Chain A
Amino acid sequence: NAGVMQNPRHLVRRRGQEARLRCSPMKGHSHVYWYRQLPEEGLKFMVYLQKENIIDESGMPKERFSAEFPKEGPSILRIQQVVRGDSAAYFCASSPQGPGQGNSPLHFGNGTRLTVT
């Protein structure tokens, strides 16, 4: 019974390169959330997606960041032209229902630690 799978666990990119972070939600979960944890800070909401739809991207920087959750395959968080300030841990979480339906808790992956050199 696989939980939320994120890969890679660690990702090193040079400034200006692209970073792609993958998240496979738990089986049966169609709601995916991405959070960022900066050093010494808590979890900050980035984006909430449902299959093929972005529901809420209010926490996502306007430039360079994008997310998708296609009908088939994992959710992808893409960061273009990375800068040192993008270095952080990125966590994905999934749930079977949206936060307004049934009060399901989130199931988190182990995160991807991005280091920009």
Chain B
Amino acid sequence: ILNVEQSPQSLHVQEGDSTNFTCSFPSSNFYALHWYRWETAKSPEALFVMTLNGDEKKKGRISATLNTKEGYSYLYIKGSQPEDSATYLCAFIGPDYKLSFGAGTTVTVRA
């Protein structure tokens, strides 16, 4: 079982403010990293699949960076809106090709 950690566990952000949070994973034997958004009462939806060190991906106001050498990825939300409230999950894929999920960061955007 691989150790994939996300921090913080939860955060509150004011509408309009920007925020970011972290996914840490083993830096050796990296294959890929996924980010998912999970809204309450729905199913997780894929945001990004990241494979290369230095990758930066963007989808609207949400973006992610990847550092495979030090074993972390940041997810950024610019100008948070209430609809961004969700749990954000990262999943690490190592040489055995299994997806190991972190416990998630729950974001609550206050109007």
Taking the closest CB of chain B, its distance from the CB of A36, in whole angstroms, is 11
Taking the closest CB of chain A, its distance from the CB of B32, in whole angstroms, is 5
Determine if B43 and A91 form an interchain contact, defined as CB atoms under 8 angstroms apart.
yes
Chain B interface residue count, Cβ-Cβ cutoff 8 angstroms: 22
Q: Which residues of chain B have C-beta atoms less than 8 A from A43's C-beta? A: 44, 89, 101
Q: Which residues of chain B have C-beta atoms less than 8 A from A4's C-beta? A: 43
B109 within 8 A of A: no
Give Cα distance in the complex from A98 to B51, angstroms.
15
Determine if A103 and B32 form an interchain contact, defined as CB atoms under 8 angstroms apart.
yes
Q: Which residues of chain B have C-beta atoms less than 8 A from A104's C-beta? A: 49
Given A42-B89, A99-B93, A99-B97, residue A105 in contact with residue B46 (CB < 8 A) = yes
Chain A interface residue count, Cβ-Cβ cutoff 8 angstroms: 26
Q: Which residues of chain B have C-beta atoms less than 8 A from A3's C-beta? A: 43
**Contacts of B86-105 to chain A: CB distance below 8 A:** 89, 91, 93, 97-104
Q: Name B's interface SS.
A: strand
Q: Which residues of chain B have C-beta atoms less than 8 A from A48's C-beta? A: 98
Q: Which of B44, B45, B89 has the most chain A CB atoms closer than 10 A to its own CB?
A: B44
Q: Which residues of chain B have C-beta atoms less than 8 A from A45's C-beta? A: 98-101
Taking the closest CB of chain A, its distance from the CB of B107, in whole angstroms, is 15
Determine if A100 and B46 form an interchain contact, defined as CB atoms under 8 angstroms apart.
no
B76 within 8 A of A: no
The 0/1 profile, CB within 8 Å of B marked 1, for residues 11-43 of chain A is 000000000000000000000010100000111
Query: Chain A: residues with CB nearer than 8 A to chain B?
Result: 3-4, 33, 35, 41-45, 48, 56, 58, 91, 93, 98-100, 103-111
Query: Chain B: residues with CB nearer than 8 A to chain A?
Result: 31-32, 34, 36, 42-46, 49, 51, 89, 91, 93, 97-104
